[in-house]
Amino acid sequence: MALAKFAEIKQFILARIEAGEWEENARVPSENQLTEMFNCSRMTARRALTELVDAGILERTQGLGTFVAGLKSQSSLLNIRNIADEIKERGHGYTVKQLELTQIEAIAPIAIALGLEVGSSVFYSVLIHCEQGLPLQLEERFVNPHLIPEYLSQNFTQQTPHEYLSQVAPLTEARHTVEAIIASEQIQQRLEISATEPCLQIIRRTWSRKGVVSFARLVHPGSKFRLGGHLTFKR
């Protein structure tokens, strides 16, 4: 089955970037140029470029054109997205390692974050999300067992915790805290980074209509990840 034109254009651009022909900050063909190259409408060319911009692969500068974005993986601070989808949208391979999936007693900070009594049982998971075989995110998550009783029965190598929780307890609210940290020895080992590598840590609490669903710590190697967002203000 033939690819849709916009998908063909995206594949063309991604192939040039992957092959190293278009490096970081290189200008990519304009909408008009792509329209001629692929014998398609300008709207189709615009869609291909827009989807690659939204995925963090390209950057658009008004009046100058569209360029290959920085090589760091980018996630939006304004949206909560599934990391597997973000990686796949960049045209890269996604894999995951499930290190822990168990039940533990909640110490004070975890219990408070989940709205439970100290010492209460909570579900706990640790995963390493990888892009092109390299660790991109260490996900440490504490889950409220009263709201998500089947959490420990899941196989998170097939479906991410974010995907599962979004299905069984649709999110109504989320709060983030972002900070730079120096990784512990354990984090260094899990993310396969050196002791001098700075990391970006996101602390996230999520709610459904019934209460706090999970409390997560997401740690990324600083050299491979960045946060970004775009806001449009209406008068």
60 and 111 belong to one structural domain: no
> Which letter, b or e, does each residue of 6-24 get, where b requires 16 or more Cβ atoms within 10 Å of its Cβ?
beebbeebbebbeeeebee
Residue 199 lies in a domain: yes
Residues 9-22: tens digit of each pLDDT: 998 998 888 777 88
Contact in structure between 69 and 24 (CB atoms under 8 Å): yes
SS3 assignment, position 136: strand
Of the residues 20, 48, 68, the one at which a domain ends? 68
59 and 174 belong to one structural domain: no
78 and 62 belong to one structural domain: no
Residues 158-167: tens digit of each pLDDT: 999 999 999 9
Three state DSSP letters for 38-93: HCCCHHHHHHHHHHHHHCCCEEEECCCEEEECCCCEEEECCCCCCHHHHHHHCCCC
Residue 233 lies in a domain: no
Contact in structure between 10 and 48 (CB atoms under 8 Å): yes
40 and 88 belong to one structural domain: no
For residue 177, the cross-strand partners are: 203
202 and 222 belong to one structural domain: yes
Residue 234 lies in a domain: no
Residues 31-66: tens digit of each pLDDT: 999 999 999 999 999 999 998 887 778 888 777 889
DSSP 8-state code for residue 7:
H
Contact in structure between 25 and 68 (CB atoms under 8 Å): yes
pLDDT band at 184 (very low <50, low <70, confident <90, very high): very high
Of the residues 24, 50, 68, the one at which a domain ends? 68
Q: How far is CA 135 from CA 87, 165, 203, in A?
A: 12, 22, 18
Question: CATH number of the domain that 32 lies in?
Answer: 1.10.10.10
Range of the domain at 142: 73-227
Distance, in Å, from the CA atom of 26 to the CA atom of 76, rounded to the nearest integer, reads 23
Report pLDDT for 235: 45
97 and 138 belong to one structural domain: yes
Phi-psi region of 192 (alpha: psi -120 to 50; beta: other; left: phi over 0): left
Q: Beta-carbon neighbour count of residue 215 at 10 Å?
A: 23
* Window from 70-74, 129-133, 197-201, 204-208 with minimum mean pLDDT: 70-74
Residues 96-126: tens digit of each pLDDT: 999 999 999 999 889 988 988 889 999 999 9
Q: How far is CA 9 from CA 56, 60, 95, in A?
A: 16, 16, 26
pLDDT band at 222 (very low <50, low <70, confident <90, very high): confident
Residues 124-160: tens digit of each pLDDT: 999 999 999 999 999 999 999 999 999 999 999 999 9
Report pLDDT for 233: 47
175 and 160 belong to one structural domain: yes
Helix (H) or strand (E) holding 104: strand 94-105
173 and 155 belong to one structural domain: yes
Report pLDDT for 126: 98
Contact partners, residue 177, CB within 8 Å, separation at least 6: 202, 203, 204
Q: How many domains does the chain have?
A: 2
Distance, in Å, from the CA atom of 118 to the CA atom of 112, rounded to the nearest integer, reads 8
DSSP 8-state code for residue 203:
E
Residue 37 lies in a domain: yes
Global pTM? Answer: 0.68
Of the residues 68, 83, 102, the one at which a domain ends? 68
Report pLDDT for 70: 66
Report pLDDT for 53: 84
Distance, in Å, from the CA atom of 45 to the CA atom of 231, rounded to the nearest integer, reads 24
136 and 157 belong to one structural domain: yes
Residue 192 lies in a domain: yes
